[in-house]
Chain A
Amino acid sequence: MKQYTYTHAIQIDADKCIGCSHCMRVCPTEAIRIDGGHARIQSVRCVDCGECFRVCPQRAIYVKDDGLASVKSSGYRIALVPSIFIGQFPSDYSATQILEAVRQIGFDDVFEVEQAVDMVKSEYRLLENEIDQRPAITSFCPAVVRLIQVLYPSLTDQIIRLKAPHDIAALYLRKSKERQGIRPSEIYIYYITPCAAKIVAARDPVAEKESPIDGTIDMKMIYNLVSKIIREDKNSGLHKSYANMSPDSVCWSLSGTEKKYFSGRSLAIDGMNNVIEFLDKLESGQLAHIDFLEMRACDQGCAGGILCPCNRFLAVERLEQRQKKLEKLKLQNEGKVTNMLFEFSEELHRELQIDAVEPREGLQLDEDIGKAIQKMKHIKKLMTFLPGFDCGACGAPSCRALAEDIAQDRANISYCVFVQRVMEKNYKLSPEQSFSVIEKIWGQNRLNKYTDENES
């Protein structure tokens, strides 16, 4: 486990951040501290799940995508759209209408990611008997993959070594467009993303050398533009190329569809807290005889993605309706589905594997075990006199986190407001000193709103 630098899509706007600590309290990997009046994210621990983004009252946390500006002005530009985007619109708009509107924004072609899911299903059939590390964990959700790297390093080799559907779709597009005579260097693929983690997966993939995706665009941005277009243009109708997949693929990114494609005992777990609770039990050896784990960091899977503008439950219902529509179409076609990806199945099959996922060093106290044990002893001692309220006034999410920061020389015991009182009482700290400690954490001018006259 070496020190790497990690790319992140979750960013903090220091001009807007008031260091209110809402984000710090919800971060599942305890990656956030308050320092100098602002929230700061520890790169090695951040998994870009976006839990902090959800709770920020100042809208200071933002997601850095590549944006529409990154779309080339020439070349063959393809928008890769996940089904969940279609679920953002009421069912009276057809998928064709929505995807055509995306094209009008400035793309030469539009492709629905979930068409690659049939390929994943067939890979699972080939893989499932070969995997002896059970349960196998899906590689679908990049936030879950990164969470396992940081918090559950012993489980990384249980992650299935298979590319995610958006990568497979992009690989297919490159091959099929090349066959159509478009020069590979002229093909640009842009993924319309429902979350921050997928942006990072495209920019800095785990266990892959490079991503076949050229850029990512925030789904909200495309949603706004498409909403405007489809309001004006009610031209409906079915475009066959948007229905070439088995019907339940459109629900793949939600919770509960993927697990049906791995035989044996298969579980679907969604929501960060649920995923953590489950992985914790799994890592402790408390769970046995499970074959497959479908995991999604967001509640309701990608419908709960932080960049999805619409209510997640509505989106789920709409995708279920879409699945029914595709089932009807399939019946009309004598129960057959022609998925174009299978024209390239052999080539794709060879390129779908990813390398082994390596753990991150985010939890380590020290590379040297002897030194780490000394630090741990220090932490345990500190824990005996920290109050255990996890009030967060020290700028760390819990007393335990502060103790760790102190042991790592990143904080001081006087950061604890309870300890401060004792130090003041014993004349170890002057009121001016404790005042400056608070200012160091929460920022200058943070404490000057209150004057003695306020109360009288």
Chain B
Amino acid sequence: MEVQYEIQGGDFSTAGQASSEIKKLLKQFNIDPQIVRRIAIALFEAEVNVVAHAYKGIMKADIEPESIRVIVEDEGPGIEDIEKAMEEGFSTASEAVRQMGFGAGMGLPNIKKNVDEMILTSVPGRGTCLKMKVLF
């Protein structure tokens, strides 16, 4: 079952809506609540990344009986050094974004911690694509 939601870059006030919708769907399935929680946290972090860094993005989820796969794709500046971006505490977020309580450099490491598979690719100047998979 596929669903997809748009994410608006820069709109911090509504950040979290896409991930929250997917979480709501998962709650209606017989999945360990703690797994749902992990997915919710990972998706929220991914959504905030789009809001904080990109112009716009899309979150696509494919739910199957054994797993969920989610692709978060954005149009934005992309990531210059993916290895560095994965380090805890590293962030390129602007001061304004940090002031809002985001950009602590924990987003990507936190996603990695909460999902079973994660593939991050990026074309600097074009955008970023994050693929995640969580087994039920």
Q: Is B54 an interface residue (CB 8 A)?
A: no
Q: Is A280 an interface residue (CB 8 A)?
A: yes
Q: Is B108 an interface residue (CB 8 A)?
A: no
**Which B66-97 residues sit within 8 Å CB-CB of chain A?**
66
Closest CB in chain A relative to B109 CB, distance in Å: 14
Selected contact of B16 from candidates A1, A284, A361, A373, CB within 8 Å: A284
B41 adjacent to A365 (CB under 8 Å):
no
B30 adjacent to A285 (CB under 8 Å):
no
Contacts of A363 in B (CB 8 A): 27-28
Q: How far is the CA of A156 from the CA of B32 in the complex (A)?
A: 12
Q: Is A376 an interface residue (CB 8 A)?
A: yes
Q: Is A338 an interface residue (CB 8 A)?
A: no
- Render A366-393 as a binary contact track against B, CB cut-off 8 A, 1 for contact: 1111101100110010000000000000
B29 adjacent to A284 (CB under 8 Å):
no
Contacts of A369 in B (CB 8 A): 29-31, 65-66, 136
**Which B1-31 residues sit within 8 Å CB-CB of chain A?**
1, 3, 16, 19-20, 23, 25, 27-31
B16 adjacent to A286 (CB under 8 Å):
yes
Using A154-B33, A154-B36 as known contacts, say yes or no to A365 and B28 having CB atoms under 8 A apart. Answer: yes
Closest CB in chain A relative to B11 CB, distance in Å: 14
B28 adjacent to A372 (CB under 8 Å):
yes
Q: How far is the CA of A1 from the CA of B32 in the complex (A)?
A: 10
Selected contact of B44 from candidates A154, A155, A284, CB within 8 Å: A284
Q: Is B40 an interface residue (CB 8 A)?
A: yes
**Which A267-310 residues sit within 8 Å CB-CB of chain B?**
280-281, 283-286
B25 adjacent to A376 (CB under 8 Å):
yes
- Render B33-48 as a binary contact track against A, CB cut-off 8 A, 1 for contact: 1101100111111000
Contacts of A373 in B (CB 8 A): 1, 29, 63-65
B1 adjacent to A285 (CB under 8 Å):
no
Q: Is A50 an interface residue (CB 8 A)?
A: no
B30 adjacent to A1 (CB under 8 Å):
yes
A366 adjacent to B30 (CB under 8 Å):
yes
Using A365-B28, A368-B30, A369-B31 as known contacts, say yes or no to A285 and B65 having CB atoms under 8 A apart. Answer: no
Closest CB in chain B relative to A284 CB, distance in Å: 5
**Which A236-286 residues sit within 8 Å CB-CB of chain B?**
280-281, 283-286
Interface size class of B (residues with CB under 8 A): 20 to 34
B41 adjacent to A285 (CB under 8 Å):
yes
Contacts of A377 in B (CB 8 A): 1
Q: Is A436 an interface residue (CB 8 A)?
A: no
Contacts of A284 in B (CB 8 A): 16, 19-20, 23, 40-41, 44
Closest CB in chain B relative to A292 CB, distance in Å: 19
Q: How far is the CA of A280 from the CA of B45 in the complex (A)?
A: 16
Tally inter-chain residue pairs, CB-CB below 8 A: 70
Contacts of B66 in A (CB 8 A): 369
Q: How far is the CA of A285 from the CA of B31 in the complex (A)?
A: 18
Q: Is A359 an interface residue (CB 8 A)?
A: yes
Contacts of B136 in A (CB 8 A): 369
- Render A348-362 as a binary contact track against B, CB cut-off 8 A, 1 for contact: 000000000001010
A364 adjacent to B19 (CB under 8 Å):
no
Q: How far is the CA of A157 from the CA of B34 in the complex (A)?
A: 10
Q: Is A153 an interface residue (CB 8 A)?
A: yes
Q: How far is the CA of A154 from the CA of B63 in the complex (A)?
A: 19
Selected contact of B27 from candidates A153, A157, A286, A380, CB within 8 Å: A153
A286 adjacent to B37 (CB under 8 Å):
no
A283 adjacent to B37 (CB under 8 Å):
yes
**Which A409-424 residues sit within 8 Å CB-CB of chain B?**
none
* Chain A residue at smallest Cβ distance from B45: A285
B40 adjacent to A283 (CB under 8 Å):
yes
A364 adjacent to B37 (CB under 8 Å):
no
* Chain A residue at smallest Cβ distance from B16: A286
Q: How far is the CA of A286 from the CA of B16 in the complex (A)?
A: 7
* Chain A residue at smallest Cβ distance from B63: A373
Q: How far is the CA of A380 from the CA of B20 in the complex (A)?
A: 16
Q: How far is the CA of A207 from the CA of B28 in the complex (A)?
A: 23
Closest CB in chain A relative to B97 CB, distance in Å: 16
15 A-B pairs (CB sep. < 8 Å): A153-B27, A153-B36, A154-B40, A155-B37, A156-B33, A280-B20, A283-B37, A359-B33, A363-B28, A366-B30, A369-B30, A370-B65, A372-B29, A376-B29, A376-B63
Instruction: Give 12 A-B pairs besides A366-B29, A376-B63 with Cβ atoms closer than 8 angstroms.
Output: A153-B33, A153-B36, A280-B20, A284-B20, A284-B40, A285-B40, A364-B29, A365-B28, A368-B30, A369-B65, A376-B29, A377-B1
